[in-house]
Amino acid sequence: MNENTDKFDVEVPDGVNCLHFTKIHSIWEPLIVTGGNCSITGFDLNATEAFWTVTGDNVRALESADIDFDGEPELMVGSDDFSIWMFWHEEIIFDIKETSSISFLSKIEKAMFAFALGNGNIGVYNGSAKKWKMKVDNPVTALKGVDYNIDGDW
């Protein structure tokens, strides 16, 4: 039993701004995915780098959702250059431009996800289609989607 011990320690040359635990197409095991300075790196549970790709700016938010309904999650990436990218392995399947840096991304259900921006805006997308967006009075410090009816079907 591992009580209060490190599983692994690895230096990430591009730094770590955010972490996400997910599966990526064509890689059979889940990865610990880090977003850093213009890059995304995925490590397996043995600290081996299993995935790496470049992005346009600092990665600030990571989330995954099955946007194309193929049964496998795509990787959503939010960055300082106002972009939300959707990756299928290393390929960008869409790029959404927003009005400020992306602070948080959170899956809501199926292809729907919420976002929070550095300028205080929050909103929801269904795939690449914006459903709504609004300005909030206070800075957003966290954002989390919930399977509110507890049916296991996000």
- Nearest Cα to Cα of residue 101 among 126, 82, 127: 82
Question: What gap in Å lies between CA 115 and CA 91, rounded to an integer?
Answer: 21
**Per-residue pLDDT tens digits of the chain, which is 154 residues long:** 567 777 778 889 889 999 999 988 778 889 999 999 999 999 998 899 999 999 889 999 999 988 888 888 899 999 999 999 999 888 888 899 999 999 999 998 878 899 999 999 999 999 899 999 999 998 898 888 776 666 656 5
Question: What gap in Å lies between CA 58 and CA 138, rounded to an integer?
Answer: 24
Q: Please report, for residues 19, 111, 136, the alpha-carbon distance to residue 140 in angstroms, rounded to integers and kept in the order given.
A: 18, 22, 8
Query: How is residue 84 written in tokens?
Result: 């939300």
Q: Please state which architecture CATH assigns to domain 18-135.
A: 7 Propeller (2.130)
- The reported pLDDT for the residue numbered 2 is 62
- The reported pLDDT for the residue numbered 154 is 52
Q: What is the pTM of this model?
A: 0.88
- The reported pLDDT for the residue numbered 133 is 96
Let me know how long the chain is. 154
- The reported pLDDT for the residue numbered 26 is 75
Per-domain boundaries in the chain: 18-135
- Nearest Cα to Cα of residue 109 among 49, 46, 66: 66
- The reported pLDDT for the residue numbered 147 is 65
Q: What is the DSSP string of 61-98?
A: EEEEE-TTSSSSPEEEEEETTSEEEEEETTEEEEEEE-
